[in-house]
């Protein structure tokens, strides 16, 4: 028999609390160890439960990793949206890229994801509708332009991977090349 009401101590459904605790622990482990070295057994030990409990509440490794990325992506998208809500065209692109780069460089989970040498992880970055959706949102396109979104992702990742060594150069690159290319 499954209990569906709120737990008197947690003030929320027990299953939701378990899933939340599991995903928070997974994010912490992934941020420290990376996606490639993350394991269900280590996660189970960190939240003091069995692997079966992990699978029951949060799914397998792939589902947990995706949930962690979706949550992080949502935080980044919200930060970008807050920064660009009143902007259009060229200025929107410049600010979106700058804010996104800040988060890409400061979020441990993102760094682990982008540094992964696992071909499956790299392929996921290239083909994920989550990544394409984020890019489309930042571009501000009313239509779903897969090629523009993919180009945008690659351009931002190139800036992340090879940051400019001279202050102001990166902003100039964004203003001169990315802004005009995507706001046209």
Contacts of 34 (CB under 8 A, 6+ apart): 112, 115, 116
Q: What is the mean pLDDT of residues 54-59?
A: 94
pLDDT band (50, 70, 90) for residue 2: low
In CATH, 14-62 is 1.10.8: no
- Spans of all domains in the chain: 14-62, 70-183
Percent of the chain with pLDDT over 70: 91
Q: What is the mean pLDDT of residues 147-164?
A: 88
Q: What is the pLDDT of residue 30?
A: 95
Calculate the average pLDDT of the chain. 86
Give me 2's structure tokens. Answer: 């499954």
In CATH, 70-183 is 1.10.3470: no
Please say whether the beta carbons of 109 and 27 come within 8 A. Answer: yes
pTM of the model: 0.79
Please say whether the beta carbons of 109 and 31 come within 8 A. Answer: yes
Q: What is the pLDDT of residue 146?
A: 82
Q: What is the pLDDT of residue 42?
A: 97
Give the integer Cα–Cα distance in Å for 131 and 143: 16
Contacts of 87 (CB under 8 A, 6+ apart): 95
Q: What is the mean pLDDT of residues 141-150?
A: 76
3-state helix, strand, coil in the chain (%, to 5): 75, 0, 25
The β-bridge partners of 13 are: 6
The DSSP-derived string for 120-162 is HHHHHHHH-HHHHHHHHHHHT-SS--HHHHHHHHHHHHHHHHS
Give the integer Cα–Cα distance in Å for 116 and 106: 16
Q: What is the pLDDT of residue 1?
A: 45
Per-residue model confidence as pLDDT tens digits over 97-117: 999 999 999 999 988 988 888
Per-residue model confidence as pLDDT tens digits over 8-34: 455 668 888 889 999 999 999 999 999
Please say whether the beta carbons of 182 and 137 come within 8 A. Answer: no
């Amino acid at each position: 028999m499954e209990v569906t009401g709120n737990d008197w101590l947690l003030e929320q459904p027990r299953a939701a609390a378990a899933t939340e605790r599991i995903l928070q622990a997974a994010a912490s482990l992934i941020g420290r160890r990376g996606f490639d070295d993350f394991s269900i057994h280590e996660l189970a030990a960190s939240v003091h439960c069995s692997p079966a409990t992990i699978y029951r509440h949060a799914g397998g490794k792939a589902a947990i990793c995706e949930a962690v990325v979706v949550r992080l992506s949502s935080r980044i998208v919200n930060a970008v949206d807050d920064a660009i809500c009143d902007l259009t065209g060229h200025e929107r692109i410049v600010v979106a890229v700058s804010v996104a780069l800040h988060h890409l460089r400061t979020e441990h989970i993102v760094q682990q994801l982008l540094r992964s040498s696992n071909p499956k992880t790299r392929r996921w970055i290239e083909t994920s509708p989550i990544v394409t959706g984020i890019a489309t949102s930042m571009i501000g396109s009313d239509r779903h332009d897969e090629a523009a979104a993919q180009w945008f992702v690659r351009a931002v990742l190139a800036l992340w991977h090879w940051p400019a060594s001279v202050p102001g150069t990166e902003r100039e690159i964004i203003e001169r090349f990315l802004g005009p290319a995507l706001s046209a």
